[in-house]
Structures are given as structure tokens and as C-alpha cells.
Amino acid sequence: MRRSVFVAGRGALSGFGRGLAALVTGVFAGETALQERVRTHAYEVATDVVGEFPPGTLPDDVAENDLPRRSAEAAAEEAFAEAGGPDRRRIGLVYATTKADMSGICGPGEGLASPMFVARQLTADLGLGGRPSAVSVACASGVVGIAVAARRIAAGEVDRMLVVASDVINEFILRGFSGMGALDPHRCRPFDAARRGVSLGDGAGAIVLTSDERESIGIRVSGYAGANDACHVTGPDYEGLGIGLAARRAIEHAGLQPTDIDLLHLHATGTRANDKTEAIGLGNVWRDHADRTPPAFGSKSQTGHTLGAAGVLESLLAIAALERRQVPRNVGLMDNDCDPRLDLPTSPRKLERARHALKVASGFGGVQGAAVFSR
């Protein structure tokens, strides 16, 4: 018998600024934080726009290499505040990121892109007494991190866990994606026929999980699962096999049927291959219930792709959609050329029923993650 896992607190830093409210308000208003590059303007890459933290999000003297740690810390503090200031001596950490601190890779610092290095720092900074862990599964890191933490609570090992995910764009990441031809020169347009790639963004998200329903904000992590395309290390399976498998498994893990899902937060990067195969793979999940496919949205055209942080930030948006009983519009989508079975609203959609939200994520290495949040 596995214990239930509830959400007790949330925190976020994004291109919309500091705080979950800024992120949720911006996304549900249909705004975008993708702006002309400022902090990263010196890097020669094939795009003009990114979703950088705006000035004032963190103190101006924080170095770029230290932003993953500082933004994670700020997001965690916000989450702890919402959780009512729990006893941190009994809380464990799962830190999720792609590369974290690269100060020793691209400069004379100590950070050798080891997520555990930052996890140790965060444990000390935040005064956590539990064991830290660090996961790095590319852009699926956040969702996988939630699963790793939830599994520990469900198993009865701990009563509370903090999941923090952060990634900040730098020259290494921007030029890597640019060199692969994966960046849209302008704001990304997931699922649109004119899409040309991804836009990147800074991000940090935090979730406090608890076994105690009385500490909950009214949201339960009801299911989580993963899969691998086992097809190609950077490209998706042509039929979205992995993402469909992860979605089905998470729904089953939650004890639900596909028709129970009321809304879907997508990975939706804006690359031609991702969006096409994601639509097919998820469309197949509701193959036998075409008239009951839940409305789906992505938010990378608003925040940029925040890489390892995306899974947590976007899970927070899925939860916000449940709370607001509304799916925001898919910003940048005008002409959908992907599998039409995926229901992609181009204007805000009120939900008659808002009980279960599914969040999916994909990462290099064929990694797929999915989580179900329930009210």
C-alpha cells in the first residue's frame, strides 16, 4: 500500500520575474517573457530572444554561474513559506537540473557541472536535515525529480521532501542548441506550421511534498511514471512511443483512465520533430476516446524552455490550471500542422471538470517523464 503524496508549497522564478504569482499571472494572461537578449547578448547564436530572469529577480551582483543555486534557493524559500515553514531538519532534497554550476568548465570556478555539488550547497543554504539527491535527465529532470521524491514519501522513508529544479542559460547551452540548429530565430511557436525551433529561458521551480493531507494546498501527486523511446538519443520516436508510454503509465499509476484526465500540460518545445511526435504519441493515448481528449497547453513560448527546471515550473502551471479551472491559450499557435487529435486551445478554455492534470516531459537520451496531479 503506497502512501499518498500531497503538494504543500510552491515557488518559482522565471522570465516573468520572482514568484509563482508572476509566472501564473503572465502565462494565464497569454503574455510572453521572451524578450531581446540582455545578460546573454554577447553570445553569437542564431536567435534574438530568450526568457532571461528580468532585472531585480535576484541581486544584480549574483554571477551567471551562481544563478542556478541562488534561483533554486529563492524558489525553495517561497515554497517553504507557502508550506507554513515546516521543520527543515526532517526534509530531504531532490535537486533536478541539466548542468547546474559550470563555473569550472567555462572558467576558473569550482563547479564541474555536477548537480550533486549544488545539491550539497542547497542543503546547507536551506538548513535541510535530510539526505540530498540530484537527478539530471536533461529536459525531463524536473518531472523525474518529482517522481523520485514522491516515491520516497510513498514508500514511508520520509514524510516531507523538497524538489527544486533550476537551470540558467549561458554561452555553453545557447551555443550548443544553436550549433544543433535547434533555436527558433524568433519567439518559438510550438505546434504551429511555421515553427522553427525552441526558445530558451532561465527558470527555477520548487515543490514541497508531504505525506500529511492537512499540510496540503489541496493537490495530490496521484501518479508518476517514466519511459524511454529507445530509438535515438536526441530525436524522438517517430510515433511518440515513449511519451505515450510514460503518459499511459502515469495515468495507470494514479489508478485512472485516460478519460479521467481533464487537462494536459505538454512538453511542446517548438522543434518540428518534438511537436509532431508528441502530438501523435499523446493522441494515441486517447485513441479510443477521441471525443474526450483533454485540452492541452504548452508554455515554452511564454517562459522559454527552462531545460531541467521546466518539469517543475510546468507542473506548477498544470496545478494552477486545475485551481483556476481553466486552460490558457497556446501562445504563438495559429496554424496547427500536427496530429489534430491533440486539442490545443488558441483562446483560454474554461473547464467544466478540473480534477486531474497530466504533465509530460521529454529529454535527450530518449527520456520521458509524466506525472498526474489531482484535486
Partner 1 sequence: MNPHATVLACATVDDVGIFGSTGVRALWRDLDDDAPGTGRTMKAVFDKADATFRRIDLPARALVLACAAAGIERALDQDQRNRTAICIETGIGSLKTDLDFAASLGDECVHAGIFPYSLTSTSLGEVALRYKLRGPTISMSTDAASHGESLREGLRMLGSGDVEHVLVGAVDCLAEPAHGIAAGTRAVVVLLARPRPGVDGLATANWPPEDPTCGKDPWRAFVTMAR
Contact residues toward partner 1 (CB under 8 A) are 2, 98-99, 102, 104-106, 112-117, 119-120, 131-138, 140, 144, 147-148, 151-152, 154-157, 171-172, 175-180, 225-234, 241-242, 245-246, 253, 363-369
Q: Which three cell numbers stand for residue 196?
A: 522553427
Q: CB burial class (10 A; 0-12, 13-18, 19+) of residue 35?
A: middle
67 burial via Cβ count (<10 Å: 0-12, 13-18, 19+): buried
Shortest distance (Å) from residue 197 CB to partner 1: 14
Ramachandran angles phi, psi of 236, nearest 5°: -80, 160
At its nearest, how many Å lie between partner 1 and the CB of residue 3?
Answer: 10
> What backbone phi and psi angles, to 5 degrees, belong to 257?
-110, 155
49 versus 367: smaller Cβ distance to partner 1: 367
Residue 337: alpha-carbon gap to chain centroid? 24
Q: From the CB of 42, what's the least distance to partner 1, in Å?
A: 12
Least distance to partner 1, CB of residue 134, Å: 4
d(CA 334, CA 193): 8
- Do 320 and 271 meet the contact criterion of CB atoms below 8 Å apart? no
CA distance 311 to 25: 18
Looking at the Cβ atoms of 190 and 369, the one nearer to partner 1 is 369
Residue 110 or 335: the one with the smaller Cβ distance to partner 1 is 110
Closest to partner 1 by CB, 197 vs 332, is: 197
Give the CA diameter of the chain.
Answer: 57
**Closer Cβ to partner 1, 232 or 292, answer by number:** 232
Q: CB nearer to partner 1: give 269 or 302.
A: 269
Q: Which is nearer to partner 1, 112 or 334 (CB)?
A: 112
Q: How many CA atoms lie within 13 A of 23 on its CB side?
A: 36
Answer whether 77's CB lies under 8 Å from 164's CB.
no
Q: Closest distance between partner 1 and the C-beta of residue 275, in Å?
A: 19
DSSP strands (E only) in the chain = 6-14, 17-18, 35-36, 49-50, 91-96, 132-135, 160-167, 203-210, 219-228, 263-265, 296-297, 326-327, 349-350, 356-363, 367-374
φ and ψ at residue 219, rounded to 5 degrees: -125, 135
For the bound state, the minimum distance from the C-beta of residue 178 to partner 1, rounded and expressed in Å, comes to: 8
For the bound state, the minimum distance from the C-beta of residue 217 to partner 1, rounded and expressed in Å, comes to: 24
| Residues facing residue 133 across a β-bridge | 94
Strand partners, 206: 11, 164
Q: Which three cell numbers stand for residue 255?
A: 489508478
Measured from the CB atom, the residue of 225 and 321 that comes closer to partner 1 is: 225
- CB 7, min distance to partner 1, A: 19
Give the DSSP letter of residue 343: B
Q: How far is the CB of 249 from partner 1 (least distance, A)?
A: 8
Measured from the CB atom, is 114 or 271 closer to partner 1? 114
